[in-house]
Amino acid sequence: MAEAVLSLNSLRKSFGALKATDNVSLDVHEGEIHALIGPNGAGKSTLIHQVAGSLSPDGGNIRFLGEDIGALTVAQRVRRGLGRTFQVSSVAPEFSALRNVMLSVQSTQGSSFRFFRPVMRDRALIDAAMEKLEAVDLSERANIPAAELSHGERRQLEMAMALALKPQLLLLDEPMAGMGPEGSRSLTQFLDALRHEVPILLVEHDMEAVFSLADRISVLVYGRVIASGSVEEIRSNPDVREAYLGE
């Protein structure tokens, strides 16, 4: 098998005496959605932060596209193609959806989030940003200020901004959170198609979405991967049913 796009080896992170991630190893391959599930407090977000670079691991290593990225900053990892949805706070609420995506596109062109040129006149920039809004089905709302978008639309915008950075891998931490059933269904469809463009490490509580999307699932409990396998293997694993599915 080809080398994994992302390969985590024995990642560890403690907060005081609490082992938030405890020797976590997992891989994400090209074309794949690898879902990470587990109860609240299992360490899923901690793991995502370690991969993104916003938390430094106590030990272990992170290989991304064949390179050890453990010592790189968040921005350096983003430039290498490690994508994640933006925190809500990094969407500029007073700017239109289009302008927000344009800022992401522009940041890949070496002038990160600053106004060095009259962006609204740059046709290529507008086209590239519109293409991303179309991809997430938000182009009709392009000129609406981000603050006026619905919760679901904000999440679509964050996705468009992440995709505008041309990621080679996407880290998604509970993208369905706060979405209604219809929003979850359309995001599920979107991610289903997206895996062929960019592999995804997906943390998600919505089991219906996870079971329909995941190529592989790892189950994290108290910072440890207690099981890893296909949807069928995970669904039928008695330890998982007991620890997580509450059966």
> Of 41 and 93, which CB lies nearer to Mg ion in the complex structure?
41
Q: Tell me the sheet residues that pair with 83.
A: 170
> Of 49 and 132, which CB lies nearer to ligand ADP in the complex structure?
49
Q: For strand 200-203 and strand 18-28, is the pairing parallel, antiparallel, or unpaired?
A: unpaired
Name which of Mg ion, ligand ADP, none residue 42 binds, using a CB cut-off of 5 to 8 Å depending on partner kind: ligand ADP
CB atoms under 10 Å from CB of 85, counted, come to 20
State yes or no: residue 45 binds Mg ion (CB under 5 A).
Answer: yes
Q: 9-48 mask for ligand ADP (x: CB under 6 A)?
A: ------x--x-x-----------------x-xxxxxxx--
Q: How far is the CB of 237 from ligand ADP (least distance, A)?
A: 19
The CA-atom distances, in angstroms, between 128 and each of 38, 46, 97, 131, 160 are 37, 33, 13, 5, 11
> Of 45 and 108, which CB lies nearer to Mg ion in the complex structure?
45
State yes or no: residue 83 binds ligand ADP (CB under 6 A).
Answer: no
State yes or no: residue 55 binds Mg ion (CB under 5 A).
Answer: no
> Of 86 and 244, which CB lies nearer to ligand ADP in the complex structure?
244
Q: How far is C-alpha 77 from the chain's CA centre?
A: 13
The CA-atom distances, in angstroms, between 221 and each of 83, 172, 237 are 25, 19, 14
